[in-house]
Amino acid sequence: MKLQSLVLAAAAATALTMTTAFAVPAGTWSIAAGAHYVDPKSDNGTLDNGLSVDVDGDIQPTISGEYFIANNVGVELLAALPFHHDFDLNSADGTQVLTGKTQHLPPTLSVQYHFDSDNMPMNVKPFVGVGVNYTTFFKERISNGGDLDLDDSVGVAGHVGLDIPFAPTEAFRIDARYMDIKTDATLDGSDIGEIDISPWAYGIAFVKQF
C-alpha cells in the first residue's frame, strides 16, 4: 500500500476520535527539516506534436516553518533544494523520440489543522492542510538542442501527516502532499502544449517546536 493511503487512513481515523483539548497553543513556532520524494502522476500529457510525456521523480532535502495563528491552526511555508527531473517524449507506440531534463523549486504555503493527541497510540498528532503551490522551472534541456521553456505554475496543494513525539517539543514526522503542477511548454518560441506533473510528495522530517 502506498504511503499516501496509510497517511490518509490514519488521519481520517484519528479525526473521528479527536477531543476538544488543544494540541498546539497559538503563538508556537515549529521547524521541520527532512526530505521529500516528488512522484509525478503517471500520465503527464500529450503535446501538440503527438508525443506523450513521461516525467520521472526525485528526492531532495526540504525545510518548513509553521506559525500557529490560533490553537491547533498553523500557517506553514515549505521550501526545498531544487528538484531535478528527467523526462521522455514518446511516440504513440511508446518509442522514445526525445529526452530532456529540468529543475524546479516548489514553495508551498498551507493552512493546517493539528488534531489533539489524547487517546492516540504513541501520542501521535495527525494534521491536515490545504494551500497554494508556486512552482518555478529553470535549466530546461531537450536532446534535439532546441530552446525549451516551461512556464511557472500556480495550483492548489493538499497536505496530510502524522507527528510522532519523542520529547516534549520534538517529533518525527511522516507526511504526504499533493501539488497541482501544470506547465505550458514552448519549444523554439512555439507553444507545444501542457505538461501535467501534479505529483504526490512523500516526506520524513525532524520537527522542533519553539
Per-residue pLDDT of 10-47, as tens digits, reads 444 444 333 344 578 999 999 999 999 999 998 999 99
pLDDT > 60? residue 6: no
Q: Residue 27 burial (CB < 10 Å; 0-12/13-18/19+)?
A: exposed
Which residues on adjacent β-strands are paired with residue 107? none
Q: Give this prediction's pTM.
A: 0.85
* Torsion angle of the four alpha carbons 135, 137, 143, 147, in this order, in degrees rounded to the nearest 10: 130
pLDDT > 80? residue 196: yes
Residue 147 is predicted with a pLDDT of: 95
Residue 3 is predicted with a pLDDT of: 44
Residue 156, number of CB atoms within 10 A of its CB: 11
pLDDT > 70? residue 1: no
Residue 135 is predicted with a pLDDT of: 98
pLDDT > 70? residue 2: no
Instruction: Give the tens place of pLDDT for each residue, 87-124.
Output: 999 998 889 999 999 999 999 999 999 998 776 777 89
3-state secondary structure 141-185: EECCCCCEEECCEEEEEEEEEEEEEEECCEEEEEEEEEECCEEEE
